[in-house]
Amino acid sequence: MTLEKMNQSKFHKVVAYLGLLAVTFTFIALGVWQWNRAQESQRPIVVSSKIVALNAVTKPRIALPTSAVLRRVHVSGHYVGSFQAPHQIDGFGKEAIWDVGMLQTDQGGVILVARGLSSERVRTSLSAKIEIVGKLMPHQSDDYVDAGEGVLRRLDSALIVGETSQDLYDGYLIAESESIDGVVSQRVRIEPPAPRSAVPGFYWQHLSYVIIWWFMAGVMLYLPFYQRRVTSTVEQAEAN
């Protein structure tokens, strides 16, 4: 083997080892990230009870900030659609069908609003001026029912992308009070369920990802030793 080829071989080995280390550290970093997510999912959410404008804590087309979860907000606009959300469970653990409106805000953007129970559904004119005070909730990840006409599988703005050309807010509102053309609507309101954490997923789910990513990092570190073992075995077999 010439000197030039030896240098090329060494260079290729160095590049391969550097690539291996980069991938390994990426897997380790992903494991650390999931570990931190697991710890964050265990922390209770502490929020201010002060009522603020919706756009002061979140905007359309962005993920709902952790700091905005469970914040009490006020927003105005008009309804551009309505749905039913079956098998929803409130803060008292009671299951019911919720009446959900699609509110186009005066500031621009559309957000889902859990107005109350479907059994007390109030038909509202599309031109009616709506004033809402409610709690911001993170979007739901699990389906509660099969899809159907006018039925939401879960409270998630991703399901209404085709219903409006407006930008969408992540998450949804549970109305504490609702004014229609200046008249306060008298109906039973939903007790907001207290999410365990603003971090999506479950504690053990995040830990399982930690194990997976760090296992992959271990596999990557073992590969060079495995390659050497295979090469040594082949060379011994050829020598015999």
Give the position of tokens 């053990």: 204
End-to-end CA distance of the chain: 24
% of the chain beyond a pLDDT of 70? 88
**Reported confidence tier of residue 152, pLDDT bands at 50, 70, 90:** very high
pLDDT in tens, 99-139: 999 999 998 899 999 999 998 887 888 889 999 999 999 99
Packing angle between helix 203-239 and helix 3-41, nearest 10 degrees? 160
DSSP lists the bridge partners of residue 53 as: 74
Distances, alpha carbon 162 to alpha carbons 102, 165, 182, in Å: 12, 8, 31
The C-alpha angle 95, 100, 101, rounded to 5 degrees, equals: 170
Cβ–Cβ under 8 Å, residues 175 and 189: yes
Mention every residue, 6+ apart, whose C-beta is less than 8 A from residue 142. 154
More confident residue, 229 or 78: 78
Q: What pTM does this model have?
A: 0.66
Nearest to 70 by CA among 173, 146, 152: 173
Cβ–Cβ under 8 Å, residues 164 and 104: yes
pLDDT confidence of residue 199: 65
Nearest to 216 by CA among 17, 26, 15: 26
Residue 194 clears pLDDT 80, i.e. is over it: no
pLDDT confidence of residue 69: 87
Q: State which H helix or E strand residue 24 sits in.
A: helix 3-41
pLDDT confidence of residue 169: 97
More confident residue, 17 or 195: 17
